Amino acid sequence: MTIAALLLTALLFGGMVLYSFGFAAFVFSALPSELAGRTLRRAFPHFYLFVIGVAALAALVLVPVDRLSAALMAGVALSTVPARQILMPAINRATDTGATGRFKVLHALSVALTLAHIALAAAVLIRFV
């Protein structure tokens, strides 16, 4: 169980870091701005499902190993649901309606939440040391 918990948490951490700092940045550098935005809009629901699924699975596997880490991963999974179902559509609406100020605030919230999730996954990984 400990190895599975470590691998799942590492997968979550690595996947979030790669998507946030690698894939998203690459898409905006490789594609015209409008196409990059459309591409990321289609990719984000899948990213959020990945985070929800892997964090939830990690939480389940962590329960017998470390209850605090399990709670942290459950928190990541649970807080990603409203990000996917509420925050992401609100960001898309702000973009579609040209509400630049609202977009900036909502996007900043999304970025902060993702950074918090990365930090929580890192904290769980550190607990394995």
Query: Could you report the per-residue pLDDT of 96-127, keeping only the tens digit for each?
Result: 999 999 999 999 999 999 999 999 999 999 99
* Residues 10-58: tens digit of each pLDDT: 999 999 999 999 999 999 999 998 899 999 999 999 999 999 999 999 9
Residue with tokens 């990690």: 58
The confidence band for 92, taking pLDDT boundaries of 50, 70 and 90, is: very high
Q: Using CA atoms, how far apart are residues 57 and 108, in angstroms rounded to an integer?
A: 27
Query: Given this model, what pLDDT does residue 3 score?
Result: 95
DSSP 31: S
Write down the H helix ranges in the chain. 2-17, 24-30, 33-62, 67-82, 88-97, 100-127
Q: Is the pTM of this model over 0.75?
A: yes
How long a stretch of residues is the chain?
129
Query: Given this model, what pLDDT does residue 106 score?
Result: 98
Q: Using CA atoms, how far apart are residues 40 and 42, in angstroms rounded to an integer?
A: 5
Residue 1 pLDDT greater than 80, yes or no? no
Residues 6+ apart with CB under 8 A from 44: 84, 88
